């Protein structure tokens, strides 16, 4: 039984996904952001919903439509994203596909910064919370399956392997986002799946929708109790 395009692989599961960039205000009219279209994260949310999961998508500012059958929580900053993720728990599976800004401008006040004779303002930065690491290292209420992404421009696999250990997640989807690949903002993705045990699987270049569907099949297999 089930629906033609995915059916019931994730029926009864709650899947939490982060997607898109975060925007970190500099002043009321300016922000610091990461480059991210949200296409891959939104595609994962859509594929999981099509596979029967209850899906919560915590999304930064994107121009994409809300995926069908998904609860979408819109946020702007990394700190808002963390709060929304925590509010959405418990989840059976959490997939952190967002391109979170690593830093935010130190509080510069409520008024627009004006140009002046003193030149550019000094932009002090402070580090944002690491949402993936915070959730993956929770003692209570950690989702049983925590998946991170790694956006790399060089030594993709080595950097991703270091990340899985540092962040405490179960699986990393590493993608090569060097500009030549066209992954950033494009419709196709080139990914490697890296497991906590060091396992490595390289997928062919595929449309982001297809990467999402295959990932859903994998997540279902990893959460199925024998
Ligand atoms: N991530 C997160 N919160 C942050 C930074 C990253 O949840 N503040 C998540 C991303 O959603 C992704 C994973 O961590 O799933 C890896 O993000 P990435 O930017 O590749 O790793 P960083 O640890 O931030 O390292 P760097 O940017 O220095 O490569
Ligand atoms: Ca980062």
Query: What are the structure tokens assigned to 127, written together?
Result: 């580090």
Residues having C-beta closer than 5 Å to ion ligand 2: 102
pLDDT of residue 37: 94
21 lines ligand 1 (CB under 6 A): no
Look up the ipTM and state it: 0.98
Q: Look up the CATH architecture of domain 14-223.
A: 3-Layer(aba) Sandwich (3.40)
> Could you tell me the residue ranges of all domains in the chain?
14-223
From the list 53, 52, 50, 48, the residue with the least C-alpha distance to 97 is: 48
Strand duo 125-127 + 103-105: pairing = antiparallel
CA-proximal residue: ligand 1, atom 28 (nearest): 102
Q: What is the pLDDT of residues 109-138, one digit of tens each?
A: 789 999 999 899 888 999 999 999 999 999
151 lines ligand 1 (CB under 6 A): yes
Can you tell me whether residue 125 is helix, strand or coil? strand
Say whether 189 is catalytic: no
CA-proximal residue: ligand 1, atom 14 (nearest): 132
22 lines ligand 1 (CB under 6 A): no
C-alpha 225 – ligand 2 centre gap (Å): 33
Query: What are the structure tokens assigned to 41, written together?
Result: 């994260």
- For the cut 90, the answer to whether the pLDDT of residue 186 exceeds it is no
Strand duo 71-74 + 54-59: pairing = parallel
Using an 8 Å Cβ cutoff, are 44 and 17 in contact?
A: yes
**From the CA of 96, which ligand is nearest?**
1
Q: Which residues contact 140 (CB under 8 A, 6 or more apart)?
A: none
- For the cut 90, the answer to whether the pLDDT of residue 207 exceeds it is yes
- For the cut 50, the answer to whether the pLDDT of residue 178 exceeds it is yes
**Mean pLDDT, all residues of the chain:** 92
Q: What is the pLDDT of residues 47-101, one digit of tens each?
A: 999 999 999 999 999 999 999 999 999 999 999 999 999 999 999 999 999 999 9
Give the angle 106-137-51 at the CA atoms, nearest 5°.
Answer: 100
C-alpha 95 – ligand 1 centre gap (Å): 12
Can you tell me whether residue 94 is helix, strand or coil? strand
- In the DSSP assignment, the letter for residue 57 is E
């Amino acid at each position: 039984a089930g629906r033609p395009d995915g059916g019931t692989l994730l029926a009864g599961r709650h899947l939490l996904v982060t997607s898109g960039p975060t925007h970190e205000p500099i002043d009321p009219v300016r922000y610091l952001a990461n480059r991210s279209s949200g296409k891959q994260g939104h595609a994962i949310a859509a594929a999981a919903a099509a596979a029967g999961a209850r899906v919560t998508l915590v999304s930064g500012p994107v121009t994409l439509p809300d995926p069908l059958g998904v609860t979408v929580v819109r946020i702007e900053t990394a700190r808002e994203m963390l709060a929304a993720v925590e509010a959405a728990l418990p989840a059976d599976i959490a997939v952190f596909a967002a391109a979170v800004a690593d830093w935010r401008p130190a509080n510069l006040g409520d008024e627009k910064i004006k140009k002046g004779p003193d030149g550019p303002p000094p932009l002090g930065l402070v580090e944002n919370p690491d949402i993936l690491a915070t959730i993956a290292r929770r003692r209570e209420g950690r989702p049983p399956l925590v998946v991170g992404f790694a956006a790399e421009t060089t030594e993709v696999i080595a950097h991703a392997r270091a990340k899985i250990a540092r962040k405490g997640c179960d699986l990393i989807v590493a993608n090569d986002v060097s500009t030549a690949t066209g992954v950033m903002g494009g419709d196709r993705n080139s990914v490697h799946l890296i497991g906590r045990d060091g396992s490595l699987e390289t997928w062919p270049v595929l449309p982001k929708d297809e990467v999402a569907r295959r990932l859903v099949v994998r997540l279902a297999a990893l959460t199925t109790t024998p």
